Amino acid sequence: MTRTRRDFIKLSSLSATAIGLGLVACNTKEDFKLAEVPDSERIKVGLIGVGNRGKSILKALEFVPEIKVSALCDTLEFQMDNAKQYISNKVETFTDFKSLLALKDIDAVIIATPLHEHYKIVMASFDADKHILCEKTLAYNIEECKEIKQRGNQSNKVFQVSYQYQLHPVFNAIKNIINQGYCGTITRIDCSWDRHSNWRRKLPSEDLERQINWRMYKEYSGGLVAELGSHLLNMVDNLLGTHPIKVLGTGGIDYWKDGRETFDNVHALFDYPNGVKVGFHSQLSNSYEGYQMKIYGDKATIISHGMKTAEIIPEGKKVDEKWKDNVDSVTGASIKIIDNDKKRKINPVKNENVIYPTDNDHFNVTWRLYKNFAAAIKGKESLLLGLKDGYQSAISVHMANEAIRNEKIVKWLPEYDV
């Protein structure tokens, strides 16, 4: 039995005549339906950490009937009170995560706490024999990441890490175009995630500064690289199919002189195998380029704008013969001429096998992450984003932070290959 929520946003109708290289966008033939899942078949989940990200997770889970949030945990009780508006069933609340993990009817946990708490909660969740979905970055330092990876290698439980941008249709369109060879040999990737803000949260009380604004303090946070760069580094690893060899960098507290300890600008340059150079830049004093990825190949350049739009620009004066006319293949994307300077728009294609709840791709990929988590626990789907993804990207984050903070070249060591 299915029902449709009145407040569902209708999926936008995509043109079936999109011109290009790759798949053609297809019309959605039916609206999203929210299945009625018997309570006995729902996966009982405890959410640990119900700040801004935790509440976003709860919003997505409203559209995942296979999951039932049965318990919440946060050290701030008002956060749990605010979070209850997103949960229709009765829910238990705890200020100690160990009490939540002791619940026998909890099948899985979602960890959305500040970074420095990930390790102890993940390890306790292994001990409690729970399935785990952990927010990025995986853990606070390399040693903690290694221990989690080694423990996960021995576990038969599902372990997913929240790198949902890998599921974004624009990212997959870019990846498929690259795999088809239209960029040629990739030599360089530039990533940026810029904002013009102090990155602070409003405080209900001044004595909660370090709890609410934990991203500002080294004791709890990996700063801009961990919170923003981690997503981009994860996508780069996925595109290149490998991890960095070494990294150097710089940064500082040069604009926001407000007592913060994590840098307000960071700049890292990674060496990848085959000579590929990857840059990551983030600042809090200018938002002009925002969230962007530029991929340079010897045949073409791809520019992605916040995973909202992307274009490809052929290299050289002569456009490849196969780009001249409309090309329709199975690359997962299409390319359409949009100006007289050879620039072509990349049009991603929705997965015909998945009906999304909204026309907001950023929401949809978070929803898809949790749908996959539930399906993997039930044995109905393979896990899309596992511990390997989370571990490898976390090591890159910590290498970059060490290079930036200590002004030195940091190498990927053989001992990281666990």
SS3 category, 394: helix
Of 91, 56, 58, give the one whose Cα is nearest residue 72.
Answer: 91
Residue 336 reports pLDDT greater than 80? no
> Worst-scoring range by mean pLDDT, 63-72, 101-110, 143-152, 336-345?
336-345
Contact yes or no for 248/269 (Cβ under 8 A): yes
List the Cα angle 252/258/261 in 5-degree steps: 45
Q: Residue 161 has what pLDDT?
A: 97
pTM: 0.89
Residue listed under structure tokens 């903690």: 144
**Does position 169 have pLDDT exceeding 70, yes or no?**
yes
199 token code pair: 């990155």
- Just give the CATH number of 2-18+26-164+359-386: 3.40.50.720
Q: Which residue has the higher pLDDT, 268 or 343?
A: 268
> Range(s) for CATH 3.30.360.10 in the chain?
166-327+395-406
Average pLDDT over residues 141-165: 97
CATH class of the structural domain 166-327+395-406: alpha beta
Of 118, 82, 76, 74, give the one whose Cα is nearest residue 99. Answer: 74
In a 13 Å sphere around the CA of 54, the CA atoms on its Cβ side amount to: 27
Query: What token pair was written down for 233?
Result: 């580094």
Q: Answer yes or no: is pLDDT of 329 > 50.
A: no
The alpha carbon torsion through 216, 218, 224, 225 (nearest 10 deg) reads -170
Q: What is the CA radius of gyration of the chain?
A: 22
Higher pLDDT, 312 or 188: 188
| Secondary structure element (H or E) that encloses residue 336, with its range | strand 333-337
Q: Residue 7 pLDDT more than 70?
A: no
CB 132 within 8 A of CB 109: yes
Cα–Cα distance between 216 and 200 in angstroms, integer?
A: 8
Distance from C-alpha of 69 to C-alpha of 108, rounded to nearest angstrom:
10
Report DSSP letters for 246-277, one per residue. EEEEEEE--S--SS--S-SEEEEEEE-GGG-E
Which of 164, 175, 168 has its CA nearest to residue 312? 175
As a whole number of angstroms, the distance between CA 347 and CA 319 comes to: 19
pLDDT band at 343 (very low <50, low <70, confident <90, very high): confident
Can you tell me whether residue 278 is helix, strand or coil?
strand
Q: Per residue, what are the HEC states of 16-59? A: CCCCCCCCCCCCCCCCCCEECCCHHHCEEEEEECCCHHHHHHHH
Q: Are 89 and 68 in contact (CB under 8 A)?
A: yes
Structural element, H or E, at residue 109: strand 108-111
123 backbone dihedrals φ, ψ, rounded to 5°: -65, -40
pLDDT at site 350: 66
Secondary structure (3-state) at 226: helix
What integer pLDDT is reported at residue 320 of this predicted model? 58
pLDDT of 166 over the 60 cut: yes
Helical packing angle, 230-240 and 387-406, nearest 10°: 120
| Spatial separation of the C-alpha atoms in residues 201 and 373, rounded to whole Å | 30
Q: How confident is the model at residue 31 (pLDDT cuts 50, 70, 90)?
A: confident
The pLDDT of residue 238 is above 50: yes
Taking residues 145-150, report their average pLDDT. 98
How confident is the model at residue 219, as a pLDDT?
A: 97
Buried b (16+ CB within 10 A) or exposed e, 292-329: bbebbbeebbbbbeebeebbbebbeeeeeeebeeeeee
| 380 DSSP assignment | S
Partners of 296 in the β-ladder: 188, 301
* pLDDT over 90 at 330, yes or no: no
Could you give the residue range(s) of every CATH 3.40.50.720 domain in the chain? 2-18+26-164+359-386
Q: How far is CA 329 from CA 24, 272, 351, in A?
A: 8, 30, 15
According to DSSP, the β-strands at 43-48 and 67-73 are parallel
